[in-house]
A and B are shown apart, each in its own frame.
Chain A
Amino acid sequence: MLDAYVTALGMVLDPYVLFVITASAIYGLVVGCIPGLSATMATALLVPLTFFMPPVPAIAAIVTTSTMAIFSGDIPGCLLRIPGTPASAAYVDDSYQMTLKGRPELALGIGLWFSVLGGLFGTAVMMVASPAIADFALGFGSVEFFWIVMLGLGGAVFIGSSTPLKACISLLIGLLIAMVGMNNPAGQPRFTFESTEMLGGVSLIPMMVGMFACSEVMRHMVSDGSAPHAVVQKIGPIFANMWRLTKQYPWQLIRGSALGTIIGIQPGSGADMAAWMSYAMSKRFSKEPEKFGTGHPEGLIEAGASNNSSLAGAWIPALVFGIPGDSITAIAIGVLMMKNMAPGPTIFVNNPENVYALFLVFVIANLLMLPLGWAIIKIATRVLSVPRRVLMPIILLFAIVGSYAINNSLFDVGVMLAFGVLAFVLEENDFPVAPVILGVVLGPLLEEYFINSMIKSDGRLIGLVDRPIAAVLAAITIGIIGWTIIASIRASSRTEKLAGE
């Protein structure tokens, strides 16, 4: 293992990789800082560029960009009360109140310092846990993997979704999109409409760019899009009180990081849910809960550490089982597959140095966040004043060229547009978009595991549950789904009763 780490270190310290890491760090920080541009969009726009890179820098670009963007989403939340990414929404009141009290540097410092600590905590857990889990999972067959994918998809749709039915439909649309083409166990062309372009299936990159960037541009077009104005111009020394706060709230830091990592591991819930739950937890156990929401550091520390640690946590099921924890890791898995590094337990046997390189990139990205984060905070008031009406058309052009570049194909540009419109219409009608991506990424795997399991058992359904681990996974999955259905039926009958009265 040590040998592989040494090789990995050599791969990461390559000047080209370091350049990619630094450039993506700056890019992620700037995009995350601009309200309306999410971390997911930042990552999706980057994918066409990673297409032209070797595996390690490609994955380094994705990891670094998402890490930085989640932190820098705190900046507009603090200065404008507009969270830059949904992951910062939980504690935006506290940080904005600090700004109003003339102490933006305290809120931003907490965001930066505790993001780094939380991120490093999550990375450490990932480095220890994922090889161990992968080792255990080496004995899994198609039945176990079928249930793991089902568990991942079930969790994504049924946990933490405000509209489970609509999320379920989104997921099924994604799974159906994945059926297009010849990429199925029988190798038969399906739903291709006699088009040669469709034989390979719907290309993942234009689809992701369309769903996360093109739809965002469309949403901007119907909003007013003027640049909001920051109330403060001067930001004082950022790291001044951080050591004192770390000593004052060590328990909050550990609890936030741990909960964030666990929520990240749980498929389907990402950084935003980690922040909300940690903020609530912090308030629940605080000695001074009445101070929350008025510019109190405690919740900021816990939730700020939590959302960054969840990013690393989400990579554990992504790497070990190929199950994305949120839409960013779904994009990342797409990139890994594109680079012939299909995730799964065998990746730790066949490609350990690439996986360890990914771990090291996480460490470097989190350490790099200290100086670069400091710099972006210093120029934040100027970055925030860049008008979105100038950025959005450029993003659209980038989306067009990025989709075209993969295969020099205008057909892919059309795919990008189609999925942009689809995502826009879905979101306007409260259908979540993330399950579509999960469905598309996991659809071929789910079908393969299902068909292989059924063939092994001669088409008898009992074959899906007659191995102990598979039976346990099946019970958990069915439990989650059943519990959500019962809860939603109860909730709707309660509202009907209320309406009746």
Chain B
Amino acid sequence: MKFNDLFGGFAFLALAGLVAFASWNLPNPSQQPLGPSAFPLILSGLLALCAALLAISGARATQAGPLIGLSDWARSGGALLRLLLVPAAVIFYMLFAETLGFLICATAILVVLFLAGHTKPLHAVGLSLAAALVIHSIFYLALGVQLPWGPLEPLRW
């Protein structure tokens, strides 16, 4: 997904404005000549300048190309779906890691991602179990990280 620089310019201009707004009234307890708001204000000023330049160069390019250019992959629904699987997998982990435990969560994520990559189902399940166990051992056994067990708690080793 490739946006015209006009969009990027306006987005960063808005960001610069938000930062400036949020840092304007930061308290300056020690009454120094430059308090905690000084540096963010300078940065937001520079960002606004760069964003404006970007928007101008984007506006010049509007005649040359479309406002939103689709990369090759974005034209195929399959690729877009596979792309969305990545954030979906991470969010799934964040939501269910505590209740389902690491091993179940990790295996489920891997199976889905392997299947999306056209791995044979039986291979996908085997690989997922093996990879989840290996990563679990690295972090739980070797590094002592307390990964959640979930319903597998009675099996804890």
Contact = CB atoms under 8 A, between A and B. Distances in A.
B39 A447 contact: yes
A428 B106 CA distance: 28
A185 B35 CA distance: 8
Contacts of B38: 451, 454
A401 B46 CA distance: 37
A49 interface: yes
Interface stretch (A63-71, A125-133, A301-309, A387-395): A387-395
Interface in A189-237: 190-191, 214, 217-218, 221-223, 225
Given A165-B50, A405-B139, A416-B90, A390 B127 contact: yes
B39 A405 contact: no
A274 interface: no
Contacts of A214: 86, 90
Contacts of B147: 401, 404
A410 B92 CA distance: 11
Contacts of B127: 390
Contacts of B83: 218, 221-222
Given A184-B36, A221-B85, A417-B87, A176 B47 contact: yes
A470 interface: no
Contacts of B149: none
Best-surrounded residue of A172, A184, A390 (most CB of chain B within 10 A): A172
B32 A455 contact: yes
Contacts of B102: 401
B27 A188 contact: yes
Contacts of B80: 222
Contacts of B8: 169, 429, 431
A390 B2 contact: no
A392 B117 contact: yes
B122 interface: no
Interface in B103-157: 106, 109-110, 113-114, 116-119, 127, 131-132, 135, 138-139, 143-147
Contacts of A225: 117
A188 B36 contact: yes
A401 B139 contact: yes
B47 A49 contact: no
Interface in B1-59: 1-3, 5, 8, 12, 15, 19, 22-23, 26-30, 32-36, 38-40, 43-44, 46-47, 50-51, 53-54, 57
Nearest to B107: A397
Contact of B93 (A218, A413, A447): A413
A474 B15 CA distance: 29
Contacts of B87: 417, 420-421
A191 B44 CA distance: 13
Contact of B90 (A169, A392, A417, A459): A417
Consensus secondary structure, chain B interface: helix
B82 A221 contact: yes
Contact of A186 (B35, B89, B113, B143): B35
Contacts of B15: 176
Interface string B71-104: 1011000011011011101110110011000100
Given A389-B117, A392-B117, A455 B34 contact: yes
A499 to B, nearest CB: 9
Contacts of A188: 26-27, 29, 35-36
A222 B79 contact: yes
Contacts of B47: 169, 172-173, 176
Interface string A393-428: 110111011001100101001101100110001001
Contact of A49 (B30, B34, B116, B143): B143
Contacts of B34: 451, 454-455, 459
A165 B54 contact: yes
B36 A185 contact: yes
Contacts of B116: 221
A292 to B, nearest CB: 32
A400 B30 CA distance: 41
A396 B54 contact: no
B22 A191 contact: yes
A393 B32 CA distance: 51
A179 interface: yes
B25 to A, nearest CB: 11
A476 B50 CA distance: 22
B106 A397 contact: yes
Nearest to A188: B36
Given A221-B86, A222-B83, A390 B54 contact: no
7 contacts: A176-B19, A190-B26, A223-B73, A389-B118, A393-B113, A401-B102, A413-B93
Interface of A: 49, 52, 165-166, 168-169, 172-173, 175-176, 179, 184-186, 188, 190-191, 214, 217-218, 221-223, 225, 389-390, 392-394, 396-398, 400-401, 404-405, 408, 410, 413-414, 416-417, 420-421, 425, 428-429, 431, 447, 450-451, 454-455, 458-459
Interface of B: 1-3, 5, 8, 12, 15, 19, 22-23, 26-30, 32-36, 38-40, 43-44, 46-47, 50-51, 53-54, 57, 71, 73-74, 79-80, 82-83, 85-87, 89-91, 93-94, 97-98, 102, 106, 109-110, 113-114, 116-119, 127, 131-132, 135, 138-139, 143-147
Given A179-B39, A404-B145, A431-B8, 5 more contacts: A168-B50, A176-B44, A217-B86, A410-B94, A429-B3
